[in-house]
Structure 1
């Protein structure tokens, strides 16, 4: 979809669909002026009869039987002016996209409305453009031509009145479009069937993304992985005929500060059968999405590199399948790790943390990451605790958590911090090894996170459990059914905040 910023004086006849926004409780006459006299009379009737009042999310649309533009009118309620924020804008834009598609619109123009003084115009246009890209998304590449219907909507125009805003509006549109595209890449990777998203294909996808968006990618094969001592990672993947790959993505945006490196670690289990502790059949189909954390890291690197952030970032993904064969690792096995710690395997379906342990240790010890975020579809307990709207977070640093919390407030992706008390670490103690890979049935999300923490030394660290947020059972707002791309935009904004702080600049929430 092409998203443009156009001056009000240049937009006559531009689009077949006009979108006119209204605040609740404010004189609607200025907005009505955008409709033209003939159409204004029809809309004025709706306003007088209080069929349309501008309440947040309220929407009315109708077709006009004529040849010239506009052929469609959409009225959208903004709610109270002082309550409008970026996330509300995203949800409103998703309504506009959905309504436009119902009308078979080809081109939309969103008319201007007043933004309060502390709502930067670039944040507004970024929210509009990223939501337009994300709301129009669908994954139908495997449908036959008879079942596939391309969207008619090809163009979204943001109309403005004042020339001094044009540069900021355009900057917001560019950032929003790139964030939308990066999120869609992560969605596509997550939605691919497991026969078309093996560890090798995931590695190839990362290489292609690096070429397209501007970052370096190195792929380690099994022999090189073995030479690094990543026994925990290799134990998980050794039962599958699709051999493991270790994906390393490097972006050097601040060569003057080589000591500051943000390490992003994504879980890359391209299919999770549960191993010998096999999952029930009903739980299997969704397990193609067990690499969603890795996909989010790839997507985040794409946005970070394309937008040229002033920061050094290394993303790593330990990609493999957790399968079943005579070679499979077993409950009660004792396995090693790159760090040298020994691990007692209690449950082979607690595999993601084993791969993340080696990946996180690698990014700290070999890539000198000064801060680490791991992101993973790690525990069903996160879904039980927080549902599908909120990502569970565990951290060992309050200041680093606050930075991620700020990034979350910008992206609109909700997070919630869980405690990391020493009592939870006690649950991971093993009688016969250094640590065991589960802490039992209680506090499952916390103990899984703290297992990973034990491999990152004293590095500031965040764990994001996206088990509930990476996959949606039904479409809502700009979130599609299937893979959501959760985490891409939050990880990007973490990097952006760090980038701006290094330049002594401020950022907008």
Structure 2
């Protein structure tokens, strides 16, 4: 449990500058924490260089203390603020780290342990409103994480839809619509149906809408929801299939964001569109070089069935534009392995068709503390996606160059002039074993006004 107080109630975490260390029991190593029992304190060694990436360094330090010391503690926020001056950043780093760590993660173990630790954030500054905002935001980050962590034999499209409906029941002004296979066929979402062709589980499209004022500009958050990705007939190697339950990260994050905005009573007009299906192999599986017709009418030659995410997202983008009348769009997708080689596992690749909208999102990312880096969509990427000899588009370029940008160009082909931000979270959306609800905080900060 995490609480906010103005008085210390027990063992307290305090920062200490390297130059101020006088006690020989305090290890003079930046980021190292030492317990001084006589003072009932845990001293965390810091220096001013932490201000270059203050949120990340404080957050990482608190996580280390949480994991190293298996007991309750308080954090002296004012002592950190006195050194670093950035009160909101210090508060966010400590508060979000504890709310993330103290969440009881999804588990099917027969003897699961539950934390009974209490953590107090101590400050004379009035952080009550900010604390309430963080409670809501982190509740839905953790909700998205639980969906990510659920095994693929349980988290089918149907299960996912049910979980969203259950979570939405007690939130005002939230509307959840679930499209089944007949609805999808009637709409003509040919790309989604092609990906689903070999699966025993029917596809679903889950739409979560929240509107506090219909006069506000409508933003659609579009999530890739491949609940398991085998690659289809472009079959993955067995080692590459591990972690493919996380291929529905975008769907979890976008739906959870809208639910969180509703609970926060944000001044927003927003909808999530989550496209959900498995990508399996089987007698009815889509073959390489198949041509299908998308929801917006463009024909697409499928040259790689493992490039399925862009297919389902293309139909979802059309739904957001034509059925929901979205005026801005953000999609979140574990889309390309290539993004890891560009940005590693510490920055999310962001692609945008509109500079002004990107700048708005970038400013929100500074408050959400989830690092992004803008990547290009070059004219050559569009040429590659239009290179099919027999269809309007292909889902795979004729060369391996620029894989992440090619995927973004494919999505932009369906945007119909509506501003689109594409967030490729393939390298940042999860650790090898756990989801992290990435990009929810940034989208929440963008829309929570």
Deviations 1:400-437 (A, max 9, x none): 11222222222221211111121111011111011011
Structure 1 segment 55-454 matched on structure 2, within 5 A = 56-61=30-35, 73-80=41-48, 83=51, 85-101=54-70, 105-110=71-76, 112-113=78-79, 115=81, 119=85, 121-137=87-103, 139=105, 141-145=107-111, 148-153=112-117, 155-161=118-124, 165-166=125-126, 169-214=127-172, 215-257=174-216, 260-429=217-386, 430-440=388-398, 441-454=400-413
User: What SS class does the counterpart of residue 69 from structure 2 fall into?
Assistant: helix
Q: Structure 1 runs of 4+ off > 4 angstroms?
A: 116-120
Q: 1:490 & 1:195 partners in 2: Cα distance?
A: 30
CA contact (8 A) 1:20 1:75 kept: yes
**1:368: Cα distance to partner?**
1.1
Q: 1:140 & 1:456 partners in 2: Cα distance?
A: 36
User: What SS class does the counterpart of residue 243 from structure 2 fall into?
Assistant: helix
CA contact (8 A) 2:298 2:393 kept: yes
Between stretches 221-230 and 267-276, larger displacement belongs to 221-230
Q: 1:386 & 1:175 partners in 2: Cα distance?
A: 30
Change in Cα spacing, 1:424 to 1:82, as seen in structure 2 (3 Å) is closer
Greater CA radius of gyration, 1 or 2? 1
**1:59: Cα distance to partner?**
1.1
Q: 2:397 & 2:61 partners in 1: Cα distance?
A: 43
Give the match for residue 7 of structure 1.
6
Q: 2:51 & 2:2 partners in 1: Cα distance?
A: 29
User: What SS class does the counterpart of residue 335 from structure 1 fall into?
Assistant: strand
> RMSD in angstroms over aligned alpha carbons?
2.3
Q: 2:228 & 2:371 partners in 1: Cα distance?
A: 26
User: What SS class does the counterpart of residue 195 from structure 1 fall into?
Assistant: coil
Q: 2:95 & 2:63 partners in 1: Cα distance?
A: 10
User: What SS class does the counterpart of residue 112 from structure 1 fall into?
Assistant: helix
- Alignment size in residue pairs: 445
User: What SS class does the counterpart of residue 150 from structure 1 fall into?
Assistant: coil
Q: 2:42 & 2:444 partners in 1: Cα distance?
A: 33
Between stretches 447-456 and 90-99, larger displacement belongs to 90-99
Q: TM-score, normalised by structure 1?
A: 0.82
Give the match for residue 494 of structure 1.
446
Q: 2:86 & 2:282 partners in 1: Cα distance?
A: 57
Deviations 1:221-258 (A, max 9, x none): 1111111111111111121111001100001022333x
Between stretches 217-226 and 136-145, larger displacement belongs to 136-145
User: What SS class does the counterpart of residue 190 from structure 1 fall into?
Assistant: helix
Q: 1:63 & 1:151 partners in 2: Cα distance?
A: 23
The answer for unaligned runs of 5 or more in structure 2 is none
Q: 1:93 & 1:117 partners in 2: Cα distance?
A: 16
The answer for unaligned runs of 5 or more in structure 1 is 29-45, 65-69, 474-480, 500-509
CA contact (8 A) 2:158 2:204 kept: yes
Between stretches 453-462 and 115-124, larger displacement belongs to 115-124
